[in-house]
Structures are given as structure tokens and as C-alpha cells.
Copies of this chain bind each other. A is one copy, B any other.
Amino acid sequence: MKIIEPKKRIRIKDIAERANVSIGTIDRVLHNRGEVNAETKERVMKILEELDYQPNILASTLASKKTVSFAILFPEPQSDESYWNKPMNGVKQAFNELQTYGIKISVFRFSQTDSRTFAEQSAKILEEQFDGVVMAPFFSRESCRLVTELNARNIPFVFIDSDIKDCEKISYIGQNSYQSGALSAKLFDYTLPGPASILILHFAKEMDNHNHLVQREKGFYEYFRQNDPKGENKLITLEIENPSDKSFFGKVKQTMDQDGNVRGIFVTNSQVYRIAEFLEQQNLQHIRLIGHDLIRENAAFLRSGVIDFLICQRPEEQGYKAVTTLFEHVVMKKTVMNENYTSIDIITKENIDYYK
């Protein structure tokens, strides 16, 4: 039988006795408060190191009256059930667990179709003095600008959903989009009975501004290049700028008629339900349909069998992790992981009810 026990905690008082100074002095050393004789400071620091002092967070936050405040910069969700509510729920859960430690969260929303709103909200964030920022770097250019300002002000930040390389982020929380595309490709490869054509649909304007859609497509193509070197399967990419306008149905229909052998459709984001509507309407249910994200509309089509697989990324967990990671960095002063790839999950009719 093995027993796991917490090790004996070292208190400030112990350090004080050991260094033969008062508690107040230790406090000054720990928090760079007031002034301490250089020699004394060094002595205390050595003992702190030696005894591996870890502050008691309970007592610390109990005594301290200051609260940390974080800013969240997320896209505006289009409806109550759309994707961006899910990371937000994770944020709320993190808040619930951390609220005893004194935390305040301000949420800023921008429009997914208007990059100026992103800049506006960025400016608002910079006006206040936040202790940390969680942001979805949705628009590359505007995000970089915000990042520069945050760095100048020494405000730590974490990315969620998509990533920007080579900036001083604390952490990135999200999927490896390339690999997620490869996984989708594998599912087609395994489940299509023979060589066929597969349609890849992007629902987005300014594709090149959305790096993770590009990455997903890349991973998808790369899979087939490796596993179908002879190119027996045919891949056709279509971009649809305005998903809410149903006129794209015609475009899709035309492409399919022209090819004649389209057996699978891959949608690179959560808008897969729009094409599901189309397939249902046209009674084309033999077509294998794979998309992303478990939003309500998609869940319904998954249950009814129009959508076969959904690739998901635990958005709640992402929101939760983003906040807790930031908290650990700012309050606990722990070193956190710089990249935190979330799982790439496959959801079907059979396991949807248990997905969290």
C-alpha cells in the first residue's frame, strides 16, 4: 500500500527564523516591496531557494485584497447555439472555480465579418489595465497589432483556436489543424468503398485570412498524396463566400453533375449543416459527409444520419484551459506549456451523447 501525502510546508516564519530577520523583510524580498539591504536580500533569497519555499495560496489570497482581471476577446456568436458560445462556457466554468481566488473577467466581442470591430475592441482592452488577455487571433493583421501593444505594456496573453507564431504568447490552446485535415481524409479513405471524387468546401470569405482552414485543407490533400499516390481519388475544392445565401446550392449541384462520381463531401468548418440541408433536400444521402464542430444544427444532422462524422476539438475545454493557464501564469507564477494542442475527436451518431 502506497500513501500519497503532501509534504510539510515551509512558512515565511520559518524562513524568517532561519535568516534571522523579521517576517516583514521576507515579505519585501518576495514582492519587491519597500527597500531591503542588498546583502540581507541575497541571504534571504538563498534560503528561500534552499528550502524551496512555496507560498500558501490559500493564506495569500485570503490576506491579499487585490483581484486579478482578465480580458477575453472572442468573436460574436451568431446565435445562442453557435460555436463561439462553447469556449465561452469553458471560460465561465473556469471563472466559477477560480472566483474564490478573486478574479474578474471582461468579455469583448468582435464581428467575424468585420475586422474593424476587432481593432475597436482591441483599443478598448488597451485602455484598461488588465492582468492578462485571452484572445482568438481571428484576423491576422489586427491581431499582430494588438500583440505588439500588449507586449509593450507587459501584459501576458494566450491564444485560443488559432495561433500566431513567434510572438511572446504565454500559450496557444487549440487544435493542430493540419493533422485534423489528415484525419478527415483518412475517414474518407477508409469508408468510401472505392475510388471516388471528394468535394472540399470552404465556407468563408477571405480564405487566406483564416489560417486554420488552409491548414485543414493542406493536411487533407497531403494524406491522399501519401496514401493514394496514383491519385485514384479526385479532390475538388470549392470556396463559398456567403454561406447564408442558398444560391451556392446551384454551384455545388453543377460541380457534382459535372463530375458524376462525387461520393464524399468535406466541409472545413462548422458550416457543414448548410450542405447537409442541401443533401437532404436533394435526397443525396448516400454521400459521405464530414465536417467540424458539434453545434446544434450539426448534431441534428449527425443524429439523422446525413452527416457521418464530425471532427471536434473540445471547445469548452479550450476556453477553460485558456483561463486557467493564464491564471497559473499570473497568479501562481508557474511556468506553463507554450503549446497546448487539444484532442482531435471523431464524433458519430453513436458517441455524440457522451461527448464533452
Contact = CB atoms under 8 A, between A and B. Distances in A.
Interface of A: 1-6, 56-59, 61-62, 92, 95, 99-109, 124, 175-176, 179-180, 182-183, 186, 190-191, 193-194, 223, 308, 341-346, 348-351, 353-356
Determine how many copies of this chain the complex contains. Answer: 2
A109 to B, nearest CB: 8
A325 to B, nearest CB: 14
A7 B156 CA distance: 26
Contacts of A223: 350
Contact of A179 (B95, B108, B354): B354
Contacts of A104: 3-6
A99 B6 CA distance: 6
Contacts of A4: 92, 95, 104-107
B58 A106 contact: no
Nearest to A4: B105
A183 B350 contact: yes
Q: Is the interface of A mostly helix, strand, loop or mixed?
A: mixed
A103 to B, nearest CB: 7
Nearest to A181: B350
A58 B100 contact: yes
Nearest to A95: B4
Contact of A1 (B101, B106, B353): B106
- Interface-centre pick from A104, A107, A183, A351 (highest chain B CB count, 10 A): A351
Nearest to A108: B1
A170 to B, nearest CB: 19
A175 B102 CA distance: 36
A59 B190 CA distance: 57
Nearest to A349: B186
Contacts of A353: 179
A308 B151 CA distance: 46
B354 A1 contact: no
